[in-house]
């Protein structure tokens, strides 16, 4: 079995799990890093969790930021082949959901293999037109106001000017990744897909999650959790239970 820690900086905290029959790639929301999923490594004992560490955060803080999803996925596609020696699944929240989805499609096209399961969290179906205003290039005060509205940036960050100056370029770049993304139709995936949503998520309501079912011919499940866009944190335990049950028997 491969030594995950020595392969690439793209997947941080990954540890070889001899008990695992499945590898779970986890992708962060805008501004987030691999540490979001670090607790999952100990909790999901029969799954080998591989949290993605994107450039500009954590131990990669000095690396150039990506502003286009296609470029980001292309780079990940170069690094991921050694990890495909086990069945694998994808989990992504918000920005991470579309990263996982597009990477899954590219792996299928380039390597002829699909995920055993794909988990989409808090992200509108990509084929649905996004008419929301562009925000990544807003002037500073307006951009910060938008961050307050989204409620995803911790209060401590807003109260720390130095930390805020570090985070704003990262958040602008991640927002640009999301807001310049253009979905291109290809044949649907064949793997099972589970989609998660928050009942109080005003930006991604249930009706924008339902159309994900058209992007796979496999079994489709939509699960709604109480909470806003960041129900990932408030319902982490329940989400991990769903992940474990969904991949049992693979």
Give the active site residues.
94
Give the SS3 label for residue 158.
helix
**Backbone φ, ψ for residue 225 (5° rounding):** -115, 145
Residue 88: name the closest of 18, 186, 20, 188 by CA. 20
Residue 227 corresponds to which tokens in the numbers above? 């909470």
Residue 163 corresponds to which tokens in the numbers above? 């930390």
What does the DSSP assignment read for 202-234? SSS-HHHHGGGGGGBSS-EEEEEESSSTTHHHH
Residue 91: name the closest of 134, 40, 55, 20 by CA. 40
Residue 229 corresponds to which tokens in the numbers above? 């866009």
């Amino acid at each position: 079995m491969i030594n995950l820690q020595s392969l690439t900086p793209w997947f941080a905290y990954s540890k070889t799990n001899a008990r695992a029959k499945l590898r779970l790639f986890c992708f962060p929301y805008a501004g987030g890093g691999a540490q979001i999923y670090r607790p999952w490594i100990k909790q999901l004992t029969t799954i080998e969790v591989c949290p993605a560490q994107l450039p500009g955060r954590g131990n990669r803080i000095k690396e150039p930021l990506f502003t286009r999803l296609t470029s980001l996925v292309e780079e990940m596609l170069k690094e991921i082949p050694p990890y495909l020696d086990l069945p694998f699944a994808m989990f992504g929240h918000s920005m991470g959901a579309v990263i996982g989805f597009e990477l899954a499609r590219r792996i299928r096209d380039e390597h002829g293999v699909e995920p055993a399961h794909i988990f989409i969290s808090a992200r509108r179906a990509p084929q649905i037109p996004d008419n929301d205003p562009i925000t990544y290039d807003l002037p500073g005060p307006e951009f910060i106001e938008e961050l307050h509205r989204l409620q995803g940036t911790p209060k401590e960050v807003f109260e720390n000017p130095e930390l805020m100056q570090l985070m704003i370029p990262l958040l602008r770049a991640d927002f640009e990744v999301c807001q310049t993304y253009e979905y291109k139709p290809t044949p649907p995936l064949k793997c099972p897909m589970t989609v998660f949503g928050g009942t109080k998520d005003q930006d991604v309501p249930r009706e924008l999650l339902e159309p994900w079912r058209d992007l796979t011919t496999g079994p489709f499940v939509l699960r709604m959790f109480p909470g806003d866009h960041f129900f990932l944190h408030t319902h982490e335990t329940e989400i991990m239970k769903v992940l474990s049950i969904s991949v049992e028997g693979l």
